[in-house]
Amino acid sequence: MQMISNDHVKQWMNLQPVTLSKEDTVLETLVLFSEIADKELPVVENGHLLGIVTLQDCVAHLGNETGMLSIMKTDYHAVSDDFSLNDKKAVDQPLYVLHEKTGALEGVVGRAEMTAYYEYVREREKDAQQTIEWLKLGFDTAYEGVTIVDDKGIIQLFNESYSRYVGVSKEEALGRPAADVIENSRLPVVLKTGVPERSQPHRLQGQELVVHRLPIWKNGRVIGAVGILVYEGISEIQQVLQRMEHLQTTDKHAEKQVNQEKTLTRGPTHFDDIIGESPGISKVKRIGRKASKAKATVLITGESGVGKEPFARAIHADGDRSDGPFVAVNCAAIPESLLESELFGYMKGAFTGTRNDGKPGKIELANGGTLFLDEIGDMPLTTQSKILRVLQEKEVDRVGGTSPIPVDFRLIAATNKDLKKQMEEDKFREDLFYRLHVMPLHIPPLRERKQDIPLIIADQLPRLSEENETKEKTIDKEVLQSMFHYDWPGNVRELLNVLERMFHLCEGDHIRREDVPDDLKKQKRPAGTLSEWQERKQKQEQKFEQKQIEHVLEEVKGNKSEAAKRLGISRATLYNKLSRFS
């Protein structure tokens, strides 16, 4: 069956048009013109078109008792039924559709029909524009990185997720060869071979990923290729496999066993276990991966509850000391009188009532691995000086001991305090600060990366179901909206606390608006439209990024190459960002 295109005149022509006969008078014809919108009419005899008569001609011959043959014209616009209304020849005048073989008049496309067609075209354009907008939103909203290149390997499309992975903005990536933007890219190979590479391992910015590389074929040739980042690290693949296994489990006892196995198989924390794809958290993960490969001391800063310890554990797990112990000490949770013995250990008989054989401190226990000093801003000055000596001499003195013990560990410190301000107030040693501040890592608060909230919830809800051995629960969109309008002073820790509270208090298997705590309901969205709110949010993120870059530049005394290296971006990217800040 032959398909008729929607722009062909056959789809739009009037099959019963107003016509004239050669005997009609000028006056009769003028009466017809007064009843229709068109300014010309066809003269027809035995179904065949003889010519056309215009309103102007009738007015010129008014008062003459003449027939149509004497005033009609034969230079009308005749077309076949497959003529396209998009054709350049479709001028602003009626079209007369004639049968291809007999020449009989089949229909007319006049002003009314063209108006209907143009309205249809406008609606189609509106629908197409809306579809394009949806595609753009979907392309940029996708948490998977996606890029599309042409047949020369030049990037034509590049979404926000991919931008966060490689540290190059969309604007910088577009129009450049994929090989210059994407580390170890094999898209040029796929363009050459035309063979898809599905579920392939790929190392990008020090991170292990699973990717698809798919050629785009058209008319028998490769015109481009698509690159998709599918899984972030091995742990995400393991989670998918475990969920598939869970779906196949029908027996309740077996389901419980699977949940226990999943809990047991959760090993060390890696960067792909840290949930978040916002620009701020992606940058911190990227710098953290670089820090894990170095041996320098790392200082993690950020508000309380942002998740500093997971980053410390990820740096340890991805570093060359991952086989060694990870020993964490919360300096704010241990009384000052006990902190030194906890850190440095003590010898036999050092204290009344202690173990007879003494006890190694946390520093000794971290030998060969990583020591994580959390809340180091709360450490007393006397203890700070002793920690500084351990870092300098690489040996520790137990309380009550006389012989130093050699130690070899990597130090990661964290604080929610402003150490520079504490230095000014003589609450923190300047020499210790510079010992710690070799590789700074600042974790942004949750209010500056609210787009990560749905990801964190999607990760935590199944965990809560596993831990409580209940059916997995869902969450209402209005609850998420409330969460987006709240500023989260307690950050991720507060979010997890609120989520767990709603999980236990909600009725049934769906968390609803009425389950939201009152303090979240009271906070309103900032004034202005959603787009204005998003624009303000974007400006906040840019302000944070500018502050971070300026801070690093200050540390390296303006050396842009060193600054780019510490930030985990290229020099070109750094210069581009600096030009936008100026």
Tell me the pLDDT of the chain averaged across its residues: 83
Listed residue (308, 319, 298, 290) closest to 204, CA to CA: 290
DSSP-derived pairing of the beta strands 359-360 and 370-374:
unpaired
Instruction: Tell me: do 196 and 344 sit in the same domain.
Output: no
Q: Tell me: do 438 and 466 sit in the same domain.
A: no
Cβ-defined contacts of 25-31 (< 8 Å, 24+): 25/65, 25/66, 25/67, 26/58, 26/61, 26/62, 26/63, 26/64, 26/65, 26/66, 26/71, 27/62, 29/53, 29/58, 29/68, 30/55, 30/58, 30/59, 30/62
pLDDT score, position 571: 67
Indicate whether 256 belongs to any domain: no
Mean pLDDT of 328-354: 80
Does 401 reside within a domain?
yes
Which position has the higher pLDDT, 411 or 31?
Answer: 411
Query: What is the residue-wise DSSP string for 111-131?
Result: HHHHHHHHHHHHHHHHHHHHH
In the predicted model, is pLDDT for residue 365 greater than 90? yes
Rounded Cα distance between 136 and 502, Å, is: 34
> pLDDT tier at 252 (50, 70, 90 boundaries)?
very low
Residue 411 or 133, more confident: 411
416 with 365, same domain?
A: yes
Is residue 73 located within the same domain as residue 174?
Answer: no
Position 177 pLDDT exceeds 50:
yes
Cα angle 27-30-36, degrees, rounded to a multiple of 5: 150
Asked if 454 and 535 sit in the same domain, the reply is: no
In a domain, 157, yes or no: yes
Residue 564, pLDDT above cutoff 80: no
What six digits make up the tokens of 388? 């500084």
Going by pLDDT thresholds of 50, 70 and 90, the confidence category of residue 554 is: confident
Q: For position 251, what pLDDT does the model report?
A: 47
pLDDT band at 533 (very low <50, low <70, confident <90, very high): very low
Residue 48 to residues 42, 74, 97, 522, 560, Cα–Cα distance (Å): 10, 13, 11, 77, 82
Q: b/e per residue, 524-533, with b = 16+ CB within 10 A?
A: eeeeeeeeee
Residue 371 lies in a domain: yes
Q: What are phi and psi of 155, to 5 degrees?
A: -70, 125
Q: How many domains would you assign to the chain?
A: 5
Does residue 94 sit within a domain?
yes
Encode 305-320: b = buried (16+ Cβ within 10 Å), e = exposed: bbbbbbbbbbbbbbbe
- Read off the pTM: 0.57
125 belongs to a structural domain: no
DSSP helix, strand, coil percent of the chain (3-state; round to 5): 45, 20, 35
* pLDDT (0 to 100) of residue 435: 92
Give the domain CATH number at 87.
3.10.580.10
- Report whether pLDDT(528) > 50: no
Statement: residue 3 has pLDDT above 50: no
CB 176 within 8 A of CB 155: yes
Do residue 389 and residue 305 come from a single domain?
Answer: yes
Rank 56-70, 367-381, 564-578 by mean pLDDT and report only the highest: 367-381
Q: CATH no. for residue 565?
A: 1.10.10
* pLDDT of residue 313 exceeding 80: yes
Q: Which residues make beta-bridge pairs with 301? A: 415, 442
Whether 383 contacts 370, CB under 8 Å: no
Structural domain for 412, as ranges:
271-444
Shared domain for 359 and 284, answered yes or no, is yes
In tens, the pLDDT along 400-444 reads: 877 899 999 999 999 999 999 999 999 999 999 999 999 999 999
In a shared domain, residues 469 and 545: no
Q: Are residues 199 and 82 in the same domain?
A: no
Integer CA distances (angstroms), 472 to 138, 258, 276, 458, 503, in order? 27, 15, 21, 11, 10
Residue 262 has pLDDT above 80, yes or no: no
Domain termination residue (choose one: 376, 411, 444):
444
Please report which confidence band the pLDDT of residue 199 belongs to, taking 50, 70 and 90 as the band edges. confident
Claim to verify: residue 205 and residue 187 sit in the same structural domain = yes
Using the predicted structure, report yes or no on whether residue 255 has a pLDDT greater than 50: no
Q: Are residues 574 and 460 in the same domain?
A: no
Contacting residues for 431 by C-beta, under 8 A, at least 6 apart: 388
53, 83, 117 - which closes a domain: 117
